[in-house]
Amino acid sequence: MKPLICAHKGRVYNEITKQTKFAKNKDTLQKTKYLDISSISVIIDWLNSLQLSKRNINEQNIYEELQNGHLILRLIQLYNPQVEIKGIFPKARKKKCAIQNLEKALSIIYGNNPYYYSMVSSLDIYEQKKKKIHILLIQLFSKFEFAILTRIAAPLLSWYNQTLKKFQVPLHRETLSNPFDVTPRGHYKEKVHIKGDDSPNGEEHKSGETKWKDCILKSFATYVLFKDKAEEEEEDKSIPHIVNDFSDCIKIFLIFYRYGYITQEQLRQANILDIRNKYFFLQNLLKKLNIPIVLQNQYFNNPCEVAILLQLKFIQFFIREM
């Protein structure tokens, strides 16, 4: 059998996989290139919360921060401390050194991934190609956090709800059942063959919605594309229930009060503050307790549901560890 020529690898690969899920994955990943960095601002705040850089990361300097590979390597070591990384250039001011750091980091991130279409190269990162870096950021967040959040969201919120019910302020039912706010709407129902609410077959409708949620939540790429499109097309700009539950911070303060981290007087004072000062109070409390801070302001970050869940996860982890 004649060996495949490397130059035609992409064409041959696409012919083989055009009818498979890998072709769909490629299409999804390519679409994320066109997202504005503000659409994934939660990733920047996630990186800041981990304090992996000496300076504050923002939408302008994120590309430079990734250039020498140090940020990605620190991220790997934080989430996979068992991974031994050798041969790193600590300063990496020269291109050759930075590229080697990036190659080392990417080899760990991608492992033996045969689907080359999903890979961002070290040169892409070093040359600060924004669209490619957006793909990388989405991949990093999906790998290290989003996969965990989708798995723990239900038990995490149930844990909060058990305490909040004692204060007669339980979480909304939709917050518990649909924390990521991915209920199909409008033309999305047709895409997954979900019948309308007037369908006589309730089980089929419920099954369709479950499949839809699984499809959207399979990766951060599919989720953020859905949220971006939904925000752009939906006339009904309804606020997700999880945002209504936590936007004024009171439920978070009640959790801290329940476990003895603020006094009753502090809780009373926090309750009468305006929303802006509530966030100052929350951030100061999180900083004092050395809890990573994801919620940077009262408007939350995109996607806001993920920002809230990530903050709730960090708070719960702190309380359970103490």
The pLDDT, as a whole number, for residue 285 is 97
Q: Which helix (H) or strand (E) holds 241?
A: helix 241-246
- pLDDT over 50 at 68, yes or no: yes
The answer, yes or no, to whether residue 67 has pLDDT greater than 80, is: yes
Query: Which two structure tokens, joined as six digits, stand for 227?
Result: 């949220």
Q: Can you give the pLDDT at residue 16?
A: 38
Max mean pLDDT among 57-71, 82-96, 211-225, 235-249 falls in 57-71
Instruction: Record the pTM.
Output: 0.84
Q: Which of the four pLDDT bands, split at 50, 70 and 90, describes residue 7?
A: very low
> Do the beta carbons of residue 227 and residue 36 sit within 8 Å?
no
pLDDT for 297: 76
- Confidence class for position 116, pLDDT limits 50, 70, 90: low
Q: Of 31-35, 66-70, 98-102, 191-195, which range is least confident?
A: 191-195
Task: Decide if 213 contacts 153 (C-beta within 8 A).
Answer: no
Tell me the angle at which helices 304-321 and 250-258 cross, rounded to the nearest 10 degrees.
Answer: 10
Q: Which of 148-157, 220-229, 240-249, 291-300 has the lowest mean pLDDT?
A: 291-300
Tally the residues of the chain: 322
The structure tokens listed for 18 are 């055009």
Q: Which of 19-23, 63-67, 110-114, 188-192 has the lowest mean pLDDT?
A: 19-23
pLDDT at 169 over 80: yes
CA distance 306 to 191: 25
Is the bond preceding residue 303 a cis peptide, omega within 30 degrees?
A: yes
Asked if pLDDT for residue 1 goes beyond 60, the answer is no
Q: In Å, how far are 11, 21, 24, 135, 221 from 14, measured between CA atoms? A: 5, 12, 11, 20, 20
Confidence bin at 10 (pLDDT 50/70/90) = very low
Using pLDDT thresholds of 50, 70 and 90, give the confidence band for residue 166.
Answer: very high
DSSP state string for 101-159: HHHHHHHHHHTT---GGGPPPHHHHHTT-HHHHHHHHHHHHIIIIIHHHHHHHHHHHHH
Residues 261 and 281: their CA atoms lie apart, in Å, by 13
Mean pLDDT on 16-33: 62
What does the pLDDT average to over 30-46?
88
Tell me what the mean pLDDT of segment 116-132 comes to. Answer: 86
Q: What pLDDT, on the 0 to 100 scale, is given for residue 95?
A: 93
Tokens 């492992």 map to which residue?
A: 111
* Average pLDDT over all residues of the chain: 84
Residue-level pLDDT at 273: 95
**Contact present, 223 and 180 (Cβ < 8 Å):** yes
Instruction: Check pLDDT > 70 for residue 27.
Output: yes
Rounded to the nearest 10°, the torsion over CA 303, 292, 56, 83 is: -100
Neighbours of 41 (CB within 10 A): 19
Q: Is 217 left (phi over 0), alpha (psi -120 to 50) or beta?
A: alpha
User: What count of other Cβ atoms lies within 10 Å of the Cβ of residue 298?
Assistant: 15
Q: What is the pLDDT of residue 183?
A: 79
At 203, is the pLDDT very low, low, confident or very high (cuts 50, 70, 90)? low
> From the CA atom positions of the chain, what is the Rg in Å?
22
- Nearest CA among 265, 259, 48 for reference residue 166: 259
- For the chain, the straight-line distance linking the first and the last C-alpha, in angstroms and rounded, comes to 63
Selection from 38, 228, 45, 37 nearest residue 128 by Cα: 37
What mean pLDDT is predicted for residues 232-240?
A: 70
294 near 310, Cβ under 8 Å? Answer: yes
Q: Which of 38-47, 63-72, 198-207 has the lowest mean pLDDT?
A: 198-207
Taking 80 as the threshold, does the pLDDT of residue 196 lie above it? no
Which sign, positive or negative, has the C-alpha torsion 299, 305, 307, 313?
positive
* Percent share of the chain, pLDDT over 70: 80
